[in-house]
Amino acid sequence: MTSDLLAPITGTVGAVRGRAGSLLGAALVALAGCASGAADGADSEATTAPTTSVPADSVTTAAATPTPTTVSTDAAADSIEESCTVTVVSGDFLAKISARLDGITVDELQAENRMTDDHIIHPGDELDVCIDNDVDDVTGASRLAPPPAAVRRQQEKLNDLFAPYVIADLAVDGDSGPLTRQLLCAARMGLGLPVSATNMQPGGDDEATLFDATSLSVPAGAAVWSSRWVLVDKTCQVIFTGEGNNGIDNVFPTSTGEPGFETRDSQGVAAFRFDPALDTGGWHDSSRFPVEADNPLNGNMYKPIYFNNGQAIHGANYVPPDPRSKGCARMFPWHQDLLISWLGLSDVTAPTWNESRIGATVTVQGDYRPAD
């Protein structure tokens, strides 16, 4: 048992930053690769740099015609009606929205919506503007943890539902912590519910769906037209795998790219390189951040599978339920071995660039927002 412990650039939600700071950020991104191993391990093999953000006071959203579901933040409006949500429209950025809200700062909007400085908003996004009311007003979900007895029932059901897969059982301790919310999020994916890593309130429709379920279905976004697909979800910090539309093969925990080094979205791209790194026990050294010895303590990647212009799914000894990588998707080494075996790559003894031999189609989706 384990215990609980960004489509073209649109508007960033970070506080106002100077142009020099943005250029420095771009330089740092250009030098970074995927970090693995220990929490503070060295960066590993560099990949194509993620897109950098620009100052919040100078960026607008891409042109679009959204369908507002609550109240619009149209530039012509001098004020916003009494509501707990607003809908982002073309030309919006947080400072502009904040200026039309009475007494609500950019920092408060970021905190209420669980946004990092590098988060990107798009036309049509809804924002929660009722600050510190312990409710996610976009979804209507309470941010308060359910009573321990209710959480224990949910944990037991989650353990039963995910029993066929390698993602670890939850400690049935009544604590709706990060690992419980990670599995709740993955369950929502497999049950066709709105996907979020929030608590699940007892007695609601979502909980009823959870308790009625006897199995999980292939989540939305999976490349079911492929013989073997890998779905990396940044919202839940999990990886689903499967074969065509024949159900789910496995579910793994993952840790995707941290703010500033986000794992880029992709839809059904072929994995193009696999490196078993057998000469160094599977631990692949970085070409840009070389170390004297290849081992997990140096932050090397374990048997990486590359996709989408150089990002990788790779093993690492540190896989928390939140984004900590430098653009890649981490898995525990023994989970990486399972993925490699499922792909029929266990007998590969040297790096291969043969897409057909690797046979994996990778999709990356979602948007991580911290729940705490």
pLDDT in tens, 42-89: 333 333 333 333 344 333 344 443 333 444 444 333 344 458 999 999
Domain segments of the chain as ranges: 11-136, 142-212, 229-365
Rounded to whole angstroms, the Cα distance separating 2 from 320 reads 12
Task: Tell me the CA distances in angstroms from 79 to 76, 82, 97, 202, 342, one per residue in order.
Answer: 9, 9, 10, 37, 56
- Summarize pLDDT for 163-185 with one digit per residue, the tens: 999 999 999 999 999 999 999 99
Nearest to 221 by CA among 234, 209, 231: 231
Q: What is the pLDDT of residue 287?
A: 59
* Amino acid found at 39: A
Q: Which residues contact 207 (CB under 8 A, 6 or more apart)?
A: 154, 200, 201
Say whether pLDDT at 217 is over 90.
yes
Q: What is the pLDDT of residue 159?
A: 98
Angle between helices 178-191 and 205-212 (to 10 degrees): 80
- pLDDT band for position 148 (cuts 50, 70, 90): very high
> What integer is the mean pLDDT of 359-369?
96
Task: Tell me the CA distances in angstroms from 323 to 2, 166, 369, one per residue in order.
Answer: 19, 20, 10
Say whether pLDDT at 239 is over 50.
yes
Rounded to whole angstroms, the Cα distance separating 351 from 363 reads 22
> What integer is the mean pLDDT of 321-329?
93
Number of H helices, E strands in the chain: 8, 19
Rounded to whole angstroms, the Cα distance separating 329 from 366 reads 13
Rounded to whole angstroms, the Cα distance separating 294 from 61 reads 44
* Amino acid found at 261: F
- Summarize pLDDT for 331-348 with one digit per residue, the tens: 999 999 999 999 999 999
- pLDDT band for position 297 (cuts 50, 70, 90): low
What percent of the chain shows pLDDT beyond 90?
53
Q: What is the pLDDT of residue 299?
A: 56
Say whether pLDDT at 125 is over 60.
yes
Say whether pLDDT at 241 is over 90.
yes
Q: What is the pLDDT of residue 63?
A: 40
Residue that is written with structure tokens 């970021």 in the block: 110
* Amino acid found at 329: A
318: its two tokens: 């540190």
What class does CATH assign to 229-365?
A: mainly beta
Residue bearing the bigger pLDDT, 207 or 133: 207
Average model confidence (pLDDT) for the chain?
A: 80
> What integer is the mean pLDDT of 242-249?
97
Q: What is the pLDDT of residue 82?
A: 56
- pLDDT band for position 9 (cuts 50, 70, 90): very low
Rounded to whole angstroms, the Cα distance separating 70 from 336 reads 44
Residue bearing the bigger pLDDT, 88 or 40: 88
> What integer is the mean pLDDT of 206-235?
98
Residue bearing the bigger pLDDT, 280 or 197: 197
